[in-house]
């Protein structure tokens, strides 16, 4: 028996990176998957966008594990399309046990160079998209008699990392949303926790995007230490975060809720 055998998980941002890794890790342990991803560009984001082919590859990898998967190209900002994808997936797979609100973007720049468009897109995708995901999926967990919700925040959701003001604001918001929802949904036996990674080796860390840090740190060298991990690594692997998601999704964490779980190599610990 796998650690989430017979469960159904809904995962956003599942075309690649952490989302794909979460889908594979949960499938390895027995879960069926409902997967969505925008599969397209967002303005001002410098790293390459996920594609429909990426989402199709996630499908192949999950099916190779002999698990069922339903995948749809959906933007978490589009509530109607998001609700249709969730409801349709649950209708086909029979229930919902696990929600992993993982979709997000990151745009690096100094506080005085952030445009209203960058601010709004970051908040809309990272925070409002997470809210949409949780609010629309939670009724299925209630109907199922309980479940687990995991929201991807960040080390930047616990610590004011520099040159990431919209991202920090959105990820602090996710952390707060997780706390509020954990208490409101507890009576339905639904656990809600947030995950706080340090850097992860995904497309978000593409040199085209992260090279912006160089000139900013040269101009503001005192801030560089805030980005340093305590353990001697630059980034984690997606599976390092997926193992935490698996724990929070499984019955091993049945009494764990309202937790801000760090997999951050000590980045946020003082």
Q: Kindly tell me if the per-residue pLDDT of 43 is higher than 90.
A: yes
Q: With contact defined as beta carbons under 8 Å apart, do 141 and 190 qualify?
A: yes
Using 50, 70 and 90 to split pLDDT, how confident is the model at 207? confident
In percent, how much of the chain has pLDDT > 90?
97
Which pLDDT value is given to residue 269?
Answer: 87
Q: Is the Cβ–Cβ distance between 67 and 32 less than 8 Å?
A: yes
Length of the chain: 270
* pLDDT 10s digits, 123-172: 999 999 999 999 999 999 999 999 999 999 999 999 999 999 999 999 99
Query: Which residues, in sequence order, are bridge partners of residue 101?
Result: 151
Region 174-200: mean pLDDT is: 98
Predicted confidence (pLDDT) at residue 87 exceeds the cutoff of 80: yes
Question: Does residue 79 surpass a pLDDT of 80?
Answer: yes
Per-residue pLDDT at 205 exceeds 80: yes
How large is the average pLDDT for residues 199-216? 92
Confidence of residue 209 (pLDDT cuts 50, 70, 90): confident
At residue 20 the predicted structure's pLDDT band, cuts being 50, 70 and 90, is: very high
pLDDT at 100: 99
Judged by DSSP in three states, 194 sits in: strand
**Beta strands across the sheet bearing 69-73:** 69-73, 32-37, 8-12, 98-101, 147-152, 190-197, 260-263
Using alpha carbons, list the distances in angstroms from residue 127 to 92, 152, 225.
Answer: 28, 10, 27
| Mean pLDDT over each residue of the chain, to the nearest integer | 97
Determine the 3-state secondary structure of 7 from DSSP: coil
Q: Which residues are catalytic?
A: 167
Question: Which bin fits 146, alpha (ψ -120 to 50), beta or left (φ > 0)?
Answer: left
Percent above pLDDT 70 for the chain:
100
- pLDDT by residue (tens digit) across 221-238? 999 999 999 999 999 999
Does the pLDDT of residue 270 top 80, yes or no?
Answer: no
């Amino acid at each position: 028996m796998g650690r989430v055998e017979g469960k159904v998980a809904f995962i956003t941002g599942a075309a690649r990176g952490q989302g794909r890794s979460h889908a594979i890790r949960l499938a390895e342990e027995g879960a069926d998957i409902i997967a969505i991803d925008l599969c397209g560009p967002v303005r001002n984001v410098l790293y390459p966008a996920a594609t429909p082919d990426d989402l199709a590859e996630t499908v192949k990898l999950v099916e190779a594990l002999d698990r069922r998967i339903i995948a749809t190209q959906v933007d978490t900002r589009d509530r109607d399309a998001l609700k249709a994808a969730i409801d349709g997936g649950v209708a086909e797979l029979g229930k919902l046990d696990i929600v992993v609100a993982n979709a997000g973007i990151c745009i690096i720049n100094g506080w005085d160079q952030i445009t209203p468009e960058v601010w709004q897109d970051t908040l809309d995708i990272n925070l409002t998209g997470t809210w949409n995901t949780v609010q629309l999926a939670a009724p299925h967990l209630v109907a199922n008699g309980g479940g687990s919700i995991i929201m991807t925040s960040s080390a930047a959701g616990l610590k004011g990392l520099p040159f990431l003001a919209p991202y920090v604001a959105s990820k602090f918001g996710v952390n707060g949303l997780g706390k509020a929802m954990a208490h409101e949904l507890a009576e339905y036996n639904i656990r809600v926790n947030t995950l706080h990674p340090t850097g992860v080796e995904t497309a978000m860390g593409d040199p085209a995007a992260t090279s912006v840090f160089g000139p900013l740190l040269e101009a503001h060298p005192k801030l560089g230490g805030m980005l340093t991990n305590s353990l001697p690594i630059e980034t984690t692997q997606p599976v390092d975060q997926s193992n935490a998601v698996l724990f929070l999704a499984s019955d091993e964490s049945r009494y764990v809720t309202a937790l801000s779980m760090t997999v951050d190599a000590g980045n946020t610990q003082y």
